[in-house]
Amino acid sequence: MANTDNRGFASMDKDKQEEIASKGGKAAHESGNAHEFNSEEARKAGQKGGKVAHERGTAHEFDSKEAQKAGKKGGQNSRGGN
């Protein structure tokens, strides 16, 4: 069996992966092929991802202070704040 450890996207350094993925996202937006989520679609996608993470046991369990801090940060980001 051939050694494939140095082949493919997953074997690239993380910065190179981000660079390539960014180019793909920009190209999709420029060509009109990128999907723009509305708030309802984003909420459903987030719920689905959270459900999968909990089923796999990979979800982070927030305590109340962490959840409050994360919610506040998310609210600020959605309004363009700090």
Domain extent, residue 71, equals: 14-78
Candidates 1, 6, 78; CA nearest to 42 is 78
At 25-40, the pLDDT tens digits run: 899 888 988 888 888 8
Query: Residue 32: left if φ>0, alpha if ψ -120 to 50, beta else—which one?
Result: left
41 within domain boundaries: yes
42 within domain boundaries: yes
At 15-74, the pLDDT tens digits run: 999 999 999 889 988 898 888 888 888 889 888 888 888 888 887 777 778 878 888 777
Q: Which residue has the tokens 């369990």?
A: 61
Can you list the alpha helix ranges (DSSP code H) found in 1-82? 14-31, 39-56, 64-78
22 within domain boundaries: yes
Count up the domains in the chain and report the number: 1
69 within domain boundaries: yes
3 within domain boundaries: no
